[in-house]
Structure 1
Amino acid sequence: MPRSMPGAADRPRRDLGEFELIARYLAGRDEGKASGLVLGPGDDCALLSPSPGHQLAVSVDTSVVDVHFPAAAPAYAVGHRALAVALSDLAAMGARARWCTMALTIPQVDETWVADFSDGFHALCRESDVCLIGGDVTRGQLSISVTVHGEVPPNQALRRSGGQAGDLLAVTGALGGGLGGLKAWQAGERDLEHELLKTYLLPRPRLAAGLILNDLAHCAIDISDGLLADLGHICQASGVGAELNLSQLPLVAGLETALGQDAARRAALTGGDDYELLFSLPPAVVDVARQRLAVSGDTLTVIGHLTETPGIAGIDAELIGGWQHFGGGAS
């Protein structure tokens, strides 16, 4: 990955119409015509034909400038990130990603910015085997809404409500990089090879891990609002409690050095924007899950277990909470 995002400095800068902009940068590229795509961009609707015997999994996510990413963030990273955070929801359900649509709102047409944004978006499309099948462009405050479509066999989707007392709690990857990367950006870091900044601006949706876990885990969620907040969603939906072992939290490399031990642990618990998977599974299948995940390059760390007693034990009460758009942020 380059230190600065791929640029388009030599591209001509002129005003493009909506339809030319879509055709040039926002229609499906060399990811090709995905299987099951009957009719793609260019008509009023796309037509899809899911795999026989599968259920559709659909989710939408909106990224707004200076809420979800800095205004000065590289356009390539903005494009990647907008798709990644939406795909993360499919990963949490154990669904195979298939198609996506994207609505882009921009204050004015900057062809260089749109081209770089498109490069980041389409690069992740190809990497994730996802086809962009339609969308819209309009004028206004910079925001991107991405709707992702996946598929999953009946009764195999991972839900928040499947957790059982006695299950072990585990996470993929490492935590705290979302908040750590934001703080690195705010401190002036701009090198996207910096581990924390890369984790924040270029998150990796755990699609392969979700597919591996969908016949092993009892429930799952992606860590977008913070580990504690998202664990609270699982506990509420499953009617269980949880006990955490904070000494086992996997932290992103460099987080403790950057923030200190206490702040690093708080970032992992409440910072959000990590887009790792939090899931529960029976103790008997943990080793199998760990071995399968290793093949795809993913890790599994056990951080606690689910209990019959309501609430989350093993942490200070004031830490419970997470990001809420209309609740004053992290609590």
Structure 2
Amino acid sequence: MTRRVAVYGAGSWGTAFSLVAADAGCEVTLWARRPELVDEINMTGENGDYLPGVELPKRVRATCDPADAARGADIVVLAVSAQHVRGQLEGWRELWTPSTKFVSLMKGVELGTNKLMSEVISEATGARPDRIAVVSGPNLAREIVERKPAATVVACADEGTAALVQSVCHTPYFRPYTNPDVIGCEVGGAIKNVIALAVGVTDGMGLGDNAKAALITRGLAEGTRLGVAMGADPLTFAGLAGMGDLVATCASALSRNHSFGFRLGSGLTVAEARKATTQTAEGVASCKAIEALGLRHGVELPITEAMAAIIHHGQKPADVVDALMSRAPKAEAALLPDSVGSIRQA
């Protein structure tokens, strides 16, 4: 049976996932906000704004009507901004059926509520956790649309829903694994954007690969501490949705969060970096919400706090780096399942 998939959000990742789902044999309707982008995709088979030069499969059709996208869809995939999805879903609430399955491609934490995206989807649609899945991993859109090998994680509390979503995005070049740890996958996906901002800052300042490696490693520890405090499995952070996503986002020039941080480290102000950025860098907003989650759960998040200080409190990158390096020396916390009692150490 051919699955019908509705993808809301025609940015680079939403478009890339549409291509993957179509290659997996699904009929895909891609919702975009702007009519001119819809016309371009339907007439030329290309999303020139975000993925120029990429020919989309014939199974992908674009629309700017959310009801048209939802009609007959077995699965609704959300690839819109983490900070705007609640309002959009509340406006579209009547479009869904009691059996609609939701998939989040969003990697952020909602400002104000400090909720993970699966929680926002549940509150805005009324869907129970068994109908909500999260896709997370080292998934740089440009490489995926070029059909280069990639792997990802489909996380859901319900094994059947996870397997369904797995089936609609499994292709010869895109390999999805299932995982029941939704919290771990979402925390890993959100905090890696913040760590990538920090790595971008140090790269922009020319601080070298040792600094990059230290931030990636301590960033993994930071995400693991927060995830475990929220109920996640620490082993999730050693997998694709943790270390895998972190490495790709921190090391690749294709990463929008790294690029944003690089501009800050090179001397641009936050306002100037925003102006120079054409796509959403979710870590810019999420660092403040993740910082609040750390305070709520009593977990120290020094790298996240440092990025919030630069982006939201106007501190200079050089001063923040000095503050991080002058922290009191400590033992390195072991990130093993039996060390949860000590995993809050920073």
Answer 1 or 2: which has greater helix percent: 2
Scaled by the length of structure 1, what TM-score is found?
0.28
Scaled by the length of structure 2, what TM-score is found?
0.27
Greater relative contact order, per chain length (Cα 8 Å cut-off, separation 6+): 1
Answer 1 or 2: which has greater strand percent: 1
